[in-house]
A = this chain, B = another copy of it.
Amino acid sequence: MDPVVPDSLRERKKRSTRRALRLAALSLVAEHGLDGVTTDEIAAAADVSPRTFFNYFAGKEDALVGNDPEVAGQLAAELTARPADEAPLDALRAVLDAYAATVSIDETFWSLRARVLEAHPHLRAALAGSSADLDRALTEALARRMGAPPTDLYPALAVAVATSAARTALWYAGTTGFTRPFRDVVGEAFDVLAAGLPAPLALGR
């Protein structure tokens, strides 16, 4: 079951173009602003035809802030694989922490993305939206593992809150230039969550 990705030449090429498009989009937008860049230019910068851009991304925003398509399924699978007696929030924390670990590897990429998000607040909306797929997948997995109907309030709530916390942590790590390890920030966010979001003690810092 390990090589879910066959990693053939084809696969490697696909990943590489996808990445090239992502980077092209991010750098161009970082330099010229969101409306100063067309999809054609992005495609050109990544050395593919304009049409191909849309074989990889649903749109400009998706290229900038979207998740890779396999992520949702992968994380959902990891969630179902967690021990059955683990508390929901702990299971979610473990899954999202694993995700955070993968993020930490590609820090240049994420810094660039943070800069772009900073400069274009409108994209934060798209970012929140791009996690909708992930939320759906995780909610379904969590409901299943809890033996609850997928329309139940709790699983949806726990997932929405957890991914929301992770996203906020990513934003925070990004704006602070990743001076603190991202995983630590995620950990802190989940600690606060599990404690019921108490007011932080250190009010004068």
Taking Cβ atoms with an 8 Å cutoff, the residues of A that contact B are 87-89, 121-122, 124-133, 136, 146-148, 151, 153-154, 156-158, 160-161, 164-165, 167-169, 171-172, 175-176, 185, 188-189, 192-200, 203-205
Q: A73 CB to closest chain B CB, in angstroms?
A: 16
Residues on B with beta carbons closer than 8 Å to the beta carbon of A160? 164-165, 167-168
Given A89-B199, A128-B128, A158-B197, 9 further pairs, Cβ under 8 A = A89-B197, A124-B136, A125-B133, A129-B129, A147-B203, A147-B204, A148-B205, A156-B172, A157-B192
Residues on B with beta carbons closer than 8 Å to the beta carbon of A197? 88-89, 157-158, 161, 193-194
Residues on B with beta carbons closer than 8 Å to the beta carbon of A204? 147
Please state if B125 and A129 are interface contacts (CB–CB under 8 Å). yes
Q: Among the listed B87, B146, B195, B199, which residue makes an inter-chain contact with A146, where contact means beta carbons less than 8 Å apart?
A: B199
Does more than half of chain A's interface fall in helix, strand or loop, or is it mixed? helix
Residues on B with beta carbons closer than 8 Å to the beta carbon of A195? 196
Q: Among the listed B130, B147, B199, B205, which residue makes an inter-chain contact with A87, where contact means beta carbons less than 8 Å apart?
A: B199
Please state if B196 and A193 are interface contacts (CB–CB under 8 Å). yes
A158 to B199, CA, bound (A): 9
Please state if A132 and B125 are interface contacts (CB–CB under 8 Å). yes
Residues on B with beta carbons closer than 8 Å to the beta carbon of A130? 125
A198 to B167, CA, bound (A): 21
A-B contact pairs, 5 of them (CB 8 A): A88-B197, A125-B133, A153-B188, A161-B165, A195-B196
Q: A116 CB to closest chain B CB, in angstroms?
A: 15
Please state if B146 and A171 are interface contacts (CB–CB under 8 Å). no
Q: A125 CB to closest chain B CB, in angstroms?
A: 3
